[in-house]
Structure 1
C-alpha cells in the first residue's frame, strides 16, 4: 500500500461530533438535577470548552481526521509550503531544484486563479498542489458556517482542479483551525486534512536563526514541515533556502506521499 493510500483519511461521519455533544449535555442536565448547580455549572463550562478548544488545536481529530506525520522509516520529511502562489514562487522553485527537494504547495484558490502560470510551473517542476481554501480568511476561518465553509473548500478545489488537471488530495485549514462544519466539504471533495509536525512561524517571523531553531526542535523521521511564501516581512525565499540547508545538514530527504 502506498504512503498516500495509508494517509488518505477522508471523513466518514462528518456529524459524529453531534452525538458526543448531545451525550455531554445530557450528562450536564443529570448532574444539575441530581447534585445542583455547584456540579452542573462546572460541568456545563467544561463540556463547552471540550468542543471549543479543539477548534484552535491543529492536531485534534474531533471535527475531522488529520494527518500529522508520515509513516516514514528513514530520514524523510514531507515539506509543505502554504499561502501561494506569490511573487516568491519562482525563486522558491529554483531553491528546491538546487537542493533536489520536492514539496507540496498548499495554494489559495483566488491567488492561483490570478497566477495560473505559477501553478503550471509548480507542477512542471515535479511538485504537488493542494487546497488551502479559496480566499484564506485568516481571522474568521474558525467561525465559518456550513455554507461559507463549503464555498471556501469547494471553490478552491474546483479552481485548482481546473488549473492542475486533477483534483487535489490534501487540504490544510487556515492556521490549522477547524470547526463542526469542515468535515462535510472534505468528504464531498474526498480531501484529507493535513496539519504539521514542525513549524518555524516563518509567516510572521523573518529571523532565520529563530525560525530554524523552532524547525529543528520538531525535526524527526516522518515529520511534516510547514513553511510559507509571500510573507509580509519579505524574507520567505531566504527562510525556505535556510530550511532546505538545515534539512540537508541533518540528513533529511524530502518526499511527497505518492
Structure 2
C-alpha cells in the first residue's frame, strides 16, 4: 500500500472514531442550588483535567448505563437487592464504611449476587474540607478500605466523594494510590424528591421522570439506598425504570465494565 493510501486509511479510521465520540463529559441533569452539592462546572473541569482518574460518564455512545447507589447499606438495601436479582441487573454500590460494618451480611449478599462495591467515605463528610494532616484519607478513606477488607475480603479501587467534593490535590493522591473517583452524569436527586414529597408514589414518579428525561448512552446514574426517611420511592422508581429503559434499547452494566477500570485495589505483598 502506497503512502497516500495508508494516509487516507488512517484519516478514514480517525474520522469514524470521532463520529462515535461523545462531547466532553458533562452533567446532564439540572443543578439544585443551595443544597450543598458540587457544582456542575467543577465536576466537568475535574473530569477534563484528570481524565483516567476522575469520571462522570463513559467515553463513548454504547447504549449501556451504570446504575449506582450511594450511602448504604441500610435496612432498605435488601428490597433493592431482591428487585435487582429478579430483573438480573447488576449495579455499583458506593457505601459508607460505618454502614459496611453495621450490615456485613448485606455486604456479603450484594457481593455474592454480582454487584460491585466501592468506597463512599466512612461517615459522609465533605472530604475537600479535610485536607490538613491527611485526615480525609486516614479517617475516612482508609477506615472504609479496612472495613471492606474485614467484611468482604478486599479493598475497593473505586470511590465516590460525598456531595461530589474533592479538591485537585486529593484527586492526584487517589491517582497515586491507584484509585479512581466516580461521579455521575445523571443525578436522580432522589434524596430531594423524597424530602419534597411525603407520598412515596409522588416521590417515585419524580425520580423516574428525571432519569427518563436525561438518560443517555454510557450514563452513570446517581441514586441512594440509604438516608432520609427511607428509600422506598427510589426502589419503586428503579422497578419502573428497568423495563422502560430496556424498551428504549439500553442495557445495564457496572461502572468498572463501563469504564474498563479495576474493581479492587492492588495491595502490596499480594
Unaligned 5+ residue runs, structure 1? 1-52
| Corresponding position: 1:142 with 2:140 | no
Flag the 1:243–1:227 CA change in 2: closer, same or farther, 3 A: farther
Query: Partner of 1:135: helix, strand, or coil?
Result: coil
Length-normalised TM-score, structure 1: 0.71
Return the alpha-carbon distance in structure 1 between the equivalents of residues 228 and 244 of structure 2.
Answer: 23
Give the TM-score normalised by the residue count of structure 2. Answer: 0.68
Name the structure 2 match of 1:97. Answer: 85
Alignment of 1:5-84 (within 5 A): 57-61=42-46, 65-84=53-72
Q: CA deviation at 1:67?
A: 1.0
SS of equivalent to 2:67: strand
Deviation of 1:77 after TM superposition, in Å, equals 0.6
Q: CA 1:166–1:238 in 2, change beyond 3 Å: closer, same or farther? A: same
Cα distance change of structure 1 residues 82 and 144 upon mapping to structure 2, 3 Å threshold: same
Secondary structure of 2:46's match?
Answer: coil
Aligned-residue offset at 1:111 = 0.6
Tell me the matched-pair count. Answer: 204
Residue in 2 that maps onto 1:223:
219
CA RMSD of aligned residues (A): 2.3
Cα displacement (A) at 1:181: 4.2
Contact 2:208–2:238 (CA under 8 A) maintained in structure 1:
no
Deviation sequence 1:3-31 (CA, Å, 0-9, x none) = xxxxxxxxxxxxxxxxxxxxxxxxxxxxx
The verdict on how the C-alpha distance between 1:220 and 1:61 changes in structure 2, with shifts beyond 3 A counting, is same
Flag the 1:179–1:191 CA change in 2: closer, same or farther, 3 A: same
Aligned to 1:231, the other structure's residue is in SS state coil
Q: 1:55 to 1:209 in 2, by over 3 A?
A: closer
Match of 1:212 among 208, 213, 220: 208
Write the deviation string for residues 209-256 of structure 1: whole angstroms up to 9, x where unpaired.
221222123211111111111232322322332332432332211112
Instruction: Pick one of 242, 245, 268 that aligns with 1:247.
Output: 245
